[in-house]
Structure formats: C-alpha cells, structure tokens
C-alpha cells in the first residue's frame, strides 16, 4: 500500500436503494475520482442484490457479499435468535477476512445496525471509523442506547447530513470537533437543459420519494384532488415504488381513482431516471410530516431549477429560504399545502424566479466542494 493511499471498507447492508442509500454510494462515486482512494463495499448477500449490485457496477465500485442480520425484535423465537447470532458472527469473520486482504485505512458506516452486525470484530479493530449519519441516533431501548454510547467513543468522525442531525449528535458526543456537516450533492448524471414546459400552459407539481404516510403523500394527494377540481390546467406526478399490497398505498390508489382525476394525478411507480420529470415540473413538493433529517430530492430539484414546497420539519428548512427558493408551510395540514401549491400556480413568474434562486442557492450548501470535503475527512483522520 502506498504511503498516501486511502483505502476504505464501506459497511453497506441495506436491501433498499432509496435516496439515503444513493447518497452514501455517491460519496464513493465522488471519491473514486481520486487516484489514491480505493474502496470496497460489503453488501448483504441475500437482500437487495438485484438493485444494489447493478447500481454499484454502473459506478465501477467494488463490492463483496457478506452476511447481515436483519433487525432484532422481541417476538423472535429461539431459532430466530440463533440465526441472528450466526449472521453476526459469520459476518464479522467475513469482515475480518476482507480487512486482512484489503488492508483499509478507514471503515465507513452509515447505520447503527451495520455497526452491530460486525461488532465482535469492530471491538478489536483500531482503524478509524467514519460514520455518515443521516438519521437521528437510535436509542429507543437499552441495547441501542449502549450501542450508541459505544459508537460515540469508537467513531473517529461523524459526518452529518444536516445541522439538525449534528445538533443531536453533539448532545451525545463530548468533543464538538468530532462532527461536521456535508450536505449531499445532486445525484450524478443530471443535465440541465431548457424546460420542456416553458411554453406550455399546463402546470405540473412533482413528488419523488417513498409512498408512505410519514412522507405526507396522502396530504399531497388530498390537496391535488381539490386543486384539480378548481383548475383545469394543473397536474400532479408522484414517482416512487408502489406496493399495492400495502394498505396505505391501496387506499391512496382508490382515493385517486374515485376522484375522477386519475388522468391528472398519476402514480408513476419507481422511476430510474427522474431528470425528465424535474424538467417538466413547475414545482417540487416534499411534504414529509416527520422530523426528516434531510431530503436529497430537494437538492436534485434545486439543480434542475425547480422550487420546493416543504413543511417546517427536521433539517428541511435548512436548505429552503421561504418565498425565495421555495415555500415553507407553517402548519402540517392539507390546507397549507393546497395554498402553497395554488400560490405557485397563480404566480408563474415568481415560481420561475424561485427556481432560478433554487439553483443559485446550491452555492451556500457548498455542494461544489462535495468531493474535496469528503476527501479531507479521510485525509485528516488517517492514522
């Protein structure tokens, strides 16, 4: 190994490929542009390989498949507990194997579950651990409180996705210098061109993300139905994986179909490349109703000159300036969302100006230095 080389093992056991997972992978997509940075992902051998592997392959990122446990719960029987402990022990020995073979200078993780999965080996390793934290610390029971306390002592640096998360981390970490904030950059392969709807009288509102109650999708649909009833040339697109067996989703589909506006309110399902959707959208709506740390879709919308409408929750208001590059609703209600969308619909010139401001606002988030900021994290924490 060369003296200035940085070698990172990334613990990445997610079976999903949502915004937060893509954002973690994007860290290594950026770092791969440095000749002296090498990485190795350890992914779950059983879950998510059909989506995770192709995504990593497209970015020429190396990976190996290992055992991950999939959450503990109090209703497990003796056999289930045995399987979990086997997965943790076998996964730990697999990490040790690749640790010896790959000789990393750092270990990267983004979830407490990944840390727990390899705990038997991590207890003995002195390699600097970089924790990119995108969710509030999990401390809902004794085990996870103890685990978080141990993680706080073991991790060399916490890289937080927002100031909202950094505040929560610093409440549990004695050393303020142990955390920093690096906002996500727009997802790669986004090309900005002239909007296809600039000369079109139709107004389109876009939602991108998980189809779930915590994301406020039902409030968005309720507002959409009322706006469709009032205005002719308005439409709504929702991009996100659809599970028709899920009660919330099936109720949402029924509500749209029964509204007589199913041609104007469209559930598009999972979209691999949403660039065209942003390009045909006048506004982007991110109606999360929980304390969301940060929504990467807000960054992508900004890159595409599309203003966003949000509720005042979590870390979202950090990256939206009200009535400048988007709208922040005061109350988590369908009415507030309705009024915000209607305001953008009526004031097209102001909406377009907010879109321009949204793109310009990326500068203050320092996304242009995303790559070098991450490189410096690893450079300055190398033993």
What are 193-236's pLDDT values in tens digits? 545 555 568 999 999 999 999 999 999 999 999 999 999 999 99
Q: Are residues 209 and 177 in the same domain?
A: no
3-state SS of the chain: helix, strand, coil percent to 5?
45, 15, 35
Question: For 38-88, how does the pLDDT look when each residue is reduced to its tens digit (9 = 90+)?
Answer: 999 999 998 999 999 999 999 999 999 999 876 666 677 777 767 778 888
CA atoms within 13 A on the CB side of 351: 21
Q: How far apart are CA 308 and CA 285, in angstroms?
A: 5
Q: Are residues 274 and 373 in the same domain?
A: no
Residue 189 lies in a domain: no
Q: Are residues 358 and 370 in the same domain?
A: no
Structural domain for 335, as ranges: 203-364
Looking at residue 310, its pLDDT comes to: 98
**Domain with 275 in it: what CATH number?**
3.40.50.2000
Please state the pTM of the whole predicted model: 0.91
Asked if 22 and 4 count as a contact pair (C-beta separation under 8 A), the reply is no
Which residues 6+ apart lie within 8 Å of 99 measured at CB? 9, 121, 125, 127
Q: Are residues 376 and 252 in the same domain?
A: no
Query: Nearest-5° angle of CA 267, CA 268, CA 269?
Result: 100
Q: Are residues 226 and 261 in the same domain?
A: yes
Is it the case that residue 174 has pLDDT exceeding 80? no
Is it the case that residue 191 has pLDDT exceeding 50? no
Query: Nearest-5° angle of CA 109, CA 115, CA 120?
Result: 135
Q: Are residues 213 and 357 in the same domain?
A: yes
User: Per the structure block, which two tokens stand in for 323?
Assistant: 């009535």
Residue 72 lies in a domain: yes
Q: Are residues 256 and 172 in the same domain?
A: no
Q: Are residues 50 and 176 in the same domain?
A: yes
* Mean of the per-residue pLDDT values of the chain: 91
Q: Are residues 161 and 218 in the same domain?
A: no
Question: What is the mean pLDDT of the segment spanning 131-159?
Answer: 90
The domain tally of the chain equals: 2
Looking at residue 210, its pLDDT comes to: 93
Q: How far apart are CA 70 and CA 291, in angstroms?
A: 24
Looking at residue 18, its pLDDT comes to: 85
Q: How far apart are CA 362 and CA 302, in angstroms?
A: 7
Which residues 6+ apart lie within 8 Å of 353 measured at CB? none
Residue 257 lies in a domain: yes
Residue 1 lies in a domain: no
Q: How far apart are CA 175 and CA 32, in angstroms?
A: 30
Residue 193 lies in a domain: no
CA distances from 364 to 319, 357, 360 (A): 9, 12, 8
What is the four-CA torsion angle of 355, 359, 364, 370, rounded to 10 degrees? 140
Residue 196 lies in a domain: no
Question: For 109-144, how does the pLDDT look when each residue is reduced to its tens digit (9 = 90+)?
Answer: 999 989 989 999 999 999 999 999 999 888 877 878
Q: How confident is the model at residue 26 (pLDDT cuts 50, 70, 90)?
A: very high
To the nearest whole percent, how much of the chain has pLDDT over 90? 76
Residue 354 lies in a domain: yes
Q: Are residues 237 and 260 in the same domain?
A: yes
Looking at residue 1, its pLDDT comes to: 64
Looking at residue 73, its pLDDT comes to: 62
Q: Are residues 160 and 207 in the same domain?
A: no
Question: For 93-112, how does the pLDDT look when each residue is reduced to its tens digit (9 = 90+)?
Answer: 999 999 999 999 999 999 99
How many other C-beta atoms can be found within 10 angstroms of the C-beta atom of residue 1?
Answer: 11
Q: Are residues 40 and 113 in the same domain?
A: yes
Residue 13 lies in a domain: yes
User: Per the structure block, which two tokens stand in for 80?
Assistant: 């289930």
């Amino acid at each position: 190994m060369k003296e200035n080389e940085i070698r990172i093992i990334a613990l990445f056991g997610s079976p999903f490929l949502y915004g937060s997972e893509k954002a973690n992978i994007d860290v290594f997509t950026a770092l791969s542009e440095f000749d002296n940075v090498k990485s190795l992902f350890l992914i779950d051998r059983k879950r998510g390989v059909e989506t995770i592997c192709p995504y990593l392959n497209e970015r020429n990122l190396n990976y190996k498949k290992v055992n991950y446990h999939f959450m503990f719960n109090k209703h497990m029987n003796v056999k289930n507990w045995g399987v979990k402990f086997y997965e943790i022990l076998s996964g730990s020995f697999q990490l040790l194997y690749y640790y010896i073979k790959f000789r990393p200078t750092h270990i990267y993780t983004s979830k407490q579950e990944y840390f727990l999965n390899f705990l038997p080996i991590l207890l003995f390793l002195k390699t600097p651990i970089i924790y990119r934290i995108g969710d509030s610390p999990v401390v809902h029971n004794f085990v996870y409180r103890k685990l978080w306390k141990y993680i706080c002592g073991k991790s060399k640096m916490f890289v937080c996705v927002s100031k909202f998360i950094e505040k929560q981390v610093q409440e549990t970490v004695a050393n303020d210098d142990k955390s920093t904030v690096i906002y996500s950059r727009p997802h790669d392969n986004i090309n900005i061109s002239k909007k296809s709807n600039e000369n079109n009288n139709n107004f389109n509102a876009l939602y991108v993300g998980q189809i779930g109650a915590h994301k406020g999708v039902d409030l968005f649909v309720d507002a959409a139905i009322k706006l469709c009833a009032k205005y002719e040339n308005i439409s709504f697109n929702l991009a996100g994986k659809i599970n028709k067996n899920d009660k919330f989703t099936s109720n949402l589909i029924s509500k749209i179909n029964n509204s007589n506006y199913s041609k104007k309110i469209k559930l598009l399902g999972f979209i691999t490349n949403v660039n065209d959707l942003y390009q045909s959208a006048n506004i982007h709506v991110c109606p999360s109703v929980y304390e969301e740390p940060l929504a990467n879709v807000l960054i992508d919308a900004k890159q595409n000159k599309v203003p966003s409408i949000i509720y005042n929750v979590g870390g979202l208001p950090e990256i939206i300036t009200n009535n400048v590059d988007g709208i922040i609703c005061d109350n988590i209600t369908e009415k507030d969302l309705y009024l915000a969308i209607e305001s953008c619909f009526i004031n097209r010139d102001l909406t377009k100006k907010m879109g321009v401001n949204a793109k310009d606002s990326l500068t203050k988030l320092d996304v242009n230095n995303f790559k070098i900021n991450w490189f410096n994290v690893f450079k300055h924490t190398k033993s």
